[in-house]
Amino acid sequence: MKEIVVATKNAGKVAELAAALAPLQIAVKSVSDYGAIEEPEETGTTFTDNALLKARYYAQATGRACLADDSGLEADGLGGEPGVYSARFAGPGATDRANNEKLLAELNARPGAARTARFRCVLAFCDTNGQVLTADGTCEGIIIEEGQGSGGFGYDPLFFMPEYRKTLAEMTVAEKNAVSHRGRAVQVMVKQLAGYFS
């Protein structure tokens, strides 16, 4: 069976990608399945830079085709922050809770600041021969003042999508995959991978 390694140890992200890639009938593995691989330093200044860096690094480290993503939140009231620093907004190794608290504190410290925001995702696929595919997606929403919902991960409980009257954390995995930044990037990537694997 064809196999792709997803360049993350985040179980939520692996589950989302596995569900989205299911139509391709590909075995989806996590880098955790390959032992203690040291994480690469994300030195890129854009989501594309970091996604490509991770895809190439883990393809070499595992000897398997690899799918990596770099994604984050761009809050308009914070000039596009946290952006590529979303996972470590509250510092290295920050928890989702710490990042969410910092986001709210920064927005609340700027009365009248716009609470509009978007999630942006870039997916990069790299095989063991160095062939690369990329796809990106965005979704627009509003940062609410208190988290709602217990699903998802990261900033999902604070990211409200008015047209659906829900936060990403209140959606089922299927609902989220249909409308999220990662879901939209995956839809583009699935089409590319279908061609690649055929």
Q: Is 8 annotated as a binding residue?
A: yes
Q: Is 182 annotated as a binding residue?
A: yes
Q: Is 154 annotated as a binding residue?
A: yes
- Which strands sit side by side in the sheet containing 3-6, from one edge to the other? 27-30, 3-6, 66-75, 116-126, 132-143, 159-161, 166-167
Closest CA to 84 of 56, 125, 119: 119
Q: Is 181 annotated as a binding residue?
A: yes
Token look-up 């490509």 returns: 52
Q: Is 13 annotated as a binding residue?
A: yes
Q: Is 41 annotated as a binding residue?
A: yes
Cis omega (within 30 of 0) for bond into 82: yes
| Marked catalytic residue, from 33, 49, 69, 70 | 70
Q: Is 156 annotated as a binding residue?
A: yes
As a whole number of angstroms, the distance between CA 115 and CA 87 comes to 19
Assess whether 76 carries a catalytic annotation.
no
Q: Is 12 annotated as a binding residue?
A: yes
Alpha carbon separation from 174 to 3, 9, 20 (Å, rounded): 22, 21, 9
Q: Is 89 annotated as a binding residue?
A: no
Q: Is 100 annotated as a binding residue?
A: no
As a whole number of angstroms, the distance between CA 124 and CA 66 comes to 8
**Cβ atoms of residues 185 and 174 within 8 Å:** no
Per the annotation, where are the binding residues for Mg(2+)?
A: 41, 70
Per the annotation, where are the binding residues for substrate?
A: 8-13, 71, 153-156, 176, 181-182
Per the annotation, where are the binding residues?
A: 8-13, 41, 70-71, 153-156, 176, 181-182
Which residues are identified as catalytic?
A: 70
